[in-house]
Structure 1
Amino acid sequence: MPRIVRFHQTGGPEVLKLEEVAVAPPGPGEVRIAVKAIGLNRAEAMFRSGMYLEQPSFPSRIGYECSGTVEAVGDGVTEFAVGDKVSTIPAFSIGKNGVYGEVATVPAAAVARYPASLSWEEGTSIWMQYLTVYGAVIDIAKLAKGDTLLIPAASSSVGIAAIQIANLIGATPVALTRTSGKREELLKHGAKHVIATEEQDLVAEVMKLTDQKGARVVFDPVGGPTVAKLTAAMAAGGILFQYGALSTEPTPLPLMDVLGKTLTIRGYLLFEFTTHPEKLKPAKEFVVKGLESGALKPLVAKTFPLDQIVESHRYLESNQQIGKVVVTV
């Protein structure tokens, strides 16, 4: 029987267990993948902890992203064949279809091919990060050449993806990080400017960089008190995407900035995008074109073997990484 990562209670990384589990054949419209690599995401740590939008039903599977080869297809699946090299798009239940393990079964609509030049580790580091950015920043905000994009938690895989996409279209990516320890690495990976928010005046620095205009788009996974500084650093008519809640502190509504500058603060979920085929198709084309040209390049921070799934989650939550944490199978 294949080894699958499951957990039987919420908690820290130690609740993750690697267990032998019987796996049913793929049902209608499903694809079973022989997993080669697994990309880790903050959403999975939150799900494991019982702090995610979806609540686990025990024993629960876990995981959104994997790469591998098609092992079997269910009735009605015609776009994939056994042996195809594929990866998964987060567009399914993380508990029911979780991909951590030696095999994963997911809806065919959540499976995609990617350029053959990419490794397994890079292949599992594509869709969550690039589609999360595309759906908000490109599809909704229409980020364009000359715009300034503020990127809190810029060293995350999604943060690096936001830097790359901003550069691709000619916008200015401004990376926000708590201390200057990651400054040189963020500049190396494409940030035009880096602001260490615990060491520098965030608002003053942004205004200086934008000739006192402020940033039109903010892409924030953190929330908490810093939102007030972000809105103060925004341009009139700007939009702030709140796509995560990493801060455990309350998030204020900076009412005077919102009113005075007619700002939009918008909650954003990747799934409002990945579950709509008409939106997903152009996004996939954008990402694949970027990957093929080299303008988009998944950055793998560190890899762990499947046997070290607990250690991989500890590292994920340590905030040491720049880029994607990957588990190899």
Structure 2
Amino acid sequence: MPRVVVFDETGGPDVLRVVDEPVVEPAADEVRVRIEAFAVNPIDQLVRGGQSPRPVRLPHARLGVEGTGVVDAVGSTVTGLAVGDPVILGAIPDFETRGAYAEYTTLPADRVVPRPAGLEPVGAAALWVSYFTAYGALVERAGMRPGDRILITAASGGVGRAAIQIAHQIGAVPIAVTRHSATVDGLVAAGAAAVIATDREDVVEATRRHTGGVGVDIVLDAVMGPGLAELSLAAKLGGTLATVGWLDPRPASFPANPSLTIHRYMSLADMVDPVTAGRVAAFLTAGVRTGVLQPAVDRVFTLDDIVGAHRYLEQGTAAGKIVVTP
């Protein structure tokens, strides 16, 4: 029987276990997908650790909000999809009961999007959540335009690297922020116009230096926490702050720049809107086709080593996405 990752209690990576489950037939409006690869995201760590933003039913809960695979079966009312179509799981709203950490899953047909031609499964598994989040926050909310200067925190992560590439596709100027000097060269190679390493320089002072004293047009922050007030001073007067994560679990300080427009962006809310998802899919497909968008994968694990994948996630050192293949 196909395998699936479940957990019966919250806690560390060791609560995850691989079990056998029968294949489920799709409902009339659903498709069944044979998973070829899935990504491990910070939201998975939060849910597994008991910090889920919504209740999770235990025991036998599942994980995984994104992945890629091939359509294995279609429901009786589904049109536009056929067995054998390569797809990306665009959003799994009930991931705690049928998430992507599995060899097969079923989900509504409007929650999958075509996989861009030429994108292999490992890369495709690293595409949707990171790039959707970066695009949604920067373009849909903050209105990023050519020439805008963008300050990107946690730039070594999946969303950060996606934001660097998307800024290039739009014609904006990405300035990366990292905690470690050792990652500077890698971020320059990834396309950052400048890199600020906070273990050796002050982020606000460095940003002002890179922008002629003006500040950036947009701050894209995936960290939050008590450093948010100071970070906001890196933006110009009348600039924009878009927050997309909470890597620092401590309470966030109120931005010290009173002129900012602030967006708290939650990509999963947009992913379930077919119009927005279609627009993002078209943008990402174009970027993959031209080669501007290239998902960064740090390490690939097998399903049998899902505990190891979560241990690696907790280290917080991944330069790109962590991907698992069944």
Report the TM-score range of the alignment, normalised by the length of the smaller protein. over 0.9
Deviation of residue 223 (structure 1)? 0.6
Q: Does 1:16 align with 2:16?
A: yes
2:68 is matched with which residue?
67
Amino acid at match of 1:3: R
Q: For 2:249 and 2:275, how far apart are their aligned partners in 1?
A: 35
Structure 1 segments of 4+ aligned residues over 2 angstroms from their partners: none
Q: For 1:38 and 1:277, how far apart are their aligned partners in 2?
A: 22
1:144 is matched with which residue?
145
Q: Secondary structure at the match of 2:168?
A: helix
Q: Secondary structure at the match of 1:96?
A: helix
Q: Secondary structure at the match of 1:95?
A: helix
Q: For 2:80 and 2:47, how far apart are their aligned partners in 1?
A: 31
Equivalence map 1:67-216=2 (5 Å): 67-216=68-217
Structure 1 residue corresponding to 2:284, chosen from 284, 287, 300: 287
Aligned residues: 325
Equivalence map 1:22-41=2 (5 Å): 22-41=22-41
Please give the TM-score of this superposition, normalised by the length of structure 2: 0.96
Amino acid at match of 2:43: A
Cα pair 1:37 1:120 within 8 Å, conserved: yes
Q: For 1:190 and 1:57, how far apart are their aligned partners in 2?
A: 42
Q: Deviations over 1:55-77 (max 9, x none)?
A: 32111111011111111111211
Deviation of residue 227 (structure 1)? 0.7
Deviation of residue 237 (structure 1)? 1.4
Amino acid at match of 2:198: T
Amino acid at match of 2:71: V
User: Tell me, which stretches of 5 or more residues in structure 2 are unaligned?
Assistant: none
Cα pair 1:67 1:123 within 8 Å, conserved: yes
Q: Does 1:266 align with 2:263?
A: yes
1:232 is matched with which residue?
233
Q: For 1:55 and 1:188, how far apart are their aligned partners in 2?
A: 41
Q: Secondary structure at the match of 2:315?
A: coil
State the superposition RMSD in angstroms: 1.3
Q: Deviations over 1:227-252 (max 9, x none)?
A: 11211111111111122111122211
Q: Among the aligned pairs, what percent are the same residue?
A: 39
2:243 is matched with which residue?
242
Deviation of residue 112 (structure 1)? 1.2
Cα pair 1:99 1:105 within 8 Å, conserved: no
Q: Does 1:312 align with 2:294?
A: no
Q: Does 1:6 align with 2:19?
A: no
2:46 is matched with which residue?
46
Cα pair 1:11 1:50 within 8 Å, conserved: yes
